[in-house]
């Protein structure tokens, strides 16, 4: 009886060993094909105690991951990242820090929502990777534990588009408008690729102020969020005409209903209970 048990144990050990060798061979094959990298094995080995994700536009918004399953899910995504030579030249949205022990930290900049096949959206000082949008969909969004307007991108950038469209009626098409979106109230929701999409829809005489030089524009436009819930968004959009010294304000009170945003604004008149 004991002899049979010993034989069974030996057989199981052989099967298990072959399975491990088989898995290693599969992983090595994936590495050769560029389907997998081994740069993040320190995560897989359980050496990371926590991961911090810092919003680059709102320094006060940071979340920390200590859950082992969530860290393992991060490894699954990052180990499939493709290493490339060039990174996107736009500002990053987040800083990811992987903490090993007390003093060792692996740092990466991350651009959310990038869908390019040749430009990296996750990079450190010496490595650049293209990471699947699963990092946005499966990881980042799970940690939004704060109130956010529904379809924020739509309500935020469309409010600006509507204000510009109306202001142009009296300004004309030739004057250059500089747009400032340093809006602290919602900085945590603003993403680089959303800004790029907004810029692509602007007219030839409209652009974002990037170097803080407001003097080169005929008109400047500022947006300041005044309050929001999931179904309400309020902001003031202010135009200043450098030639006439006149300020024009648009007060938006937008409401979300039946899966759509309804845009409402008044010009130079603050609504009641604003």
d(CA 105, CA 46): 14
What pLDDT is recorded for position 134?
A: 82
Q: What is the largest CA-CA distance in the chain?
A: 101
Count how many domains the chain has. 2
Both 134 and 219 in one domain: the answer is no
Same domain, 69 and 115: yes
Rg of the Cα atoms in the chain: 26
The two structure tokens encoding residue 16: 């298990």
pLDDT band (50, 70, 90) for residue 63: confident
* Assigned token pair, 110: 């991350």
One domain, residues 157 and 185:
yes
Q: 122 in a domain, yes or no? A: yes
In a domain, 31, yes or no: no
The answer to whether the beta carbons of residues 112 and 140 sit under 8 Å apart is: yes
Same domain, 235 and 262: yes
From 22, 26, 44, 43, select the one nearest 35 (Cα to Cα).
Answer: 26
Whole-angstrom distance, CA of residue 160 vs CA of residue 222: 9
Q: pLDDT for 188-241, tens place per residue? A: 999 999 999 999 999 999 999 988 889 899 999 999 999 999 999 999 999 999
Task: Tell me the whole-structure pTM to 2 decimals.
Answer: 0.82
133 in a structural domain? yes
263 or 20, which is more confident: 263
Q: Which of 129, 43, 47, 17 is nearest to 80 (CA)?
A: 129
**Is 274 within a domain?**
no
State the CB neighbour count (10 A cutoff) for residue 40.
21
What's residue 26's pLDDT? 40
Q: What is the pLDDT of residues 107-146, one digit of tens each?
A: 999 999 876 677 999 999 999 999 988 888 766 666 666 7
Is the residue at 10 inside a domain? no
pLDDT value at position 15?
56
Same domain for 47 and 137, yes or no, is: yes
Is the pLDDT at 176 greater than 70? The verdict is yes
Q: Which of 82, 114, 143 is the last residue of a domain?
A: 143
Q: What is the DSSP track for 134-181?
A: HIIIIIGGGG--S---TTHHHHHHHHHHHHHHHHHHHH-SSS-EEEE-
Residue 19 pLDDT exceeds 60 = no
Mean pLDDT within 240-249: 96
Query: Please, are residues 71 and 65 in contact by the beta-carbon 8 Å criterion?
Result: yes
Task: Tell me whether strands 128-130 and 122-123 are parallel, antiparallel or unpaired.
Answer: antiparallel
Helix axes 152-171, 192-200, angle to 10 degrees: 30
Same domain, 75 and 125: yes
**What pLDDT score was predicted for residue 167?**
97
Mean pLDDT of 55-77: 90
Residue 157 lies in a domain: yes
Backbone angles phi, psi at 169, to 5 degrees: -60, -35
Domain span at residue 241 reads 152-267
Do 81 and 100 fall within a single domain? yes
Distance CA 244, CA 61 (A): 40
Clarify whether residues 133 and 179 are in a common domain: no
Same domain, 116 and 180: no
* 185 backbone dihedrals φ, ψ, rounded to 5°: -60, -35
Residue 161 CA, distance from chain mean position: 22
Report d(CA 4, CA 16) in Å as an integer: 18
| Whether residue 179 sits in one domain with residue 119 | no
Confidence of residue 7 (pLDDT cuts 50, 70, 90): low
Last residue of one domain, picked from the residues 110, 143, 176 = 143
Instruction: Kindly state whether residue 273 falls inside one of the protein's structural domains.
Output: no
Residues 212 and 250 in one domain: yes
The domain boundary, picked from 91, 110, 143, lies at 143
Assess whether 43 and 139 both reside in one domain: yes
Q: Is residue 49 part of a domain?
A: yes
């Amino acid at each position: 009886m004991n002899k049979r048990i010993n034989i069974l144990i030996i057989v199981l050990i052989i099967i298990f060993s072959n399975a491990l060798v088989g898995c290693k061979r599969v992983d090595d094959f994936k590495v050769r094909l560029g389907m997998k990298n081994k740069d993040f094995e320190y995560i897989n080995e359980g050496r990371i105690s926590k991961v911090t994700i810092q919003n680059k536009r709102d320094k006060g918004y940071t979340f920390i991951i200590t859950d082992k399953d969530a860290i393992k899910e991060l490894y699954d995504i990052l180990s499939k990242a493709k290493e490339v030579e060039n990174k996107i030249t736009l500002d990053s949205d987040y800083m990811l820090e992987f903490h090993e022990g007390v003093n060792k930290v692996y740092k990466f900049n991350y651009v959310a929502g990038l869908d390019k096949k040749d430009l990296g959206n996750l990079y450190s000082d010496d490595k650049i990777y293209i990471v699947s949008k699963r990092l946005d969909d499966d990881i980042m969004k799970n940690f939004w534990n704060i109130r956010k307007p529904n379809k924020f991108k739509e309500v935020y950038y469309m409010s600006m588009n509507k204000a510009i469209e109306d202001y142009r009626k009296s300004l004309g098409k030739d004057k250059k408008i500089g747009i400032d979106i340093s809006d602290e109230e919602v900085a945590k929701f603003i993403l680089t690729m959303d800004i790029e999409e907004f810029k692509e829809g602007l007219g030839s005489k409209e652009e974002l102020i990037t170097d803080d030089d407001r003097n080169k524009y005929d008109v400047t436009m500022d947006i300041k969020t005044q309050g929001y819930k999931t179904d309400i968004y309020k902001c003031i959009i202010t135009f200043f005409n450098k030639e006439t010294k006149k300020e024009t304000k648009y007060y938006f009170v937008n409401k979300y209903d039946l899966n759509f945003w309804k845009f409402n604004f008044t010009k130079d008149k603050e609504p009641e209970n604003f």
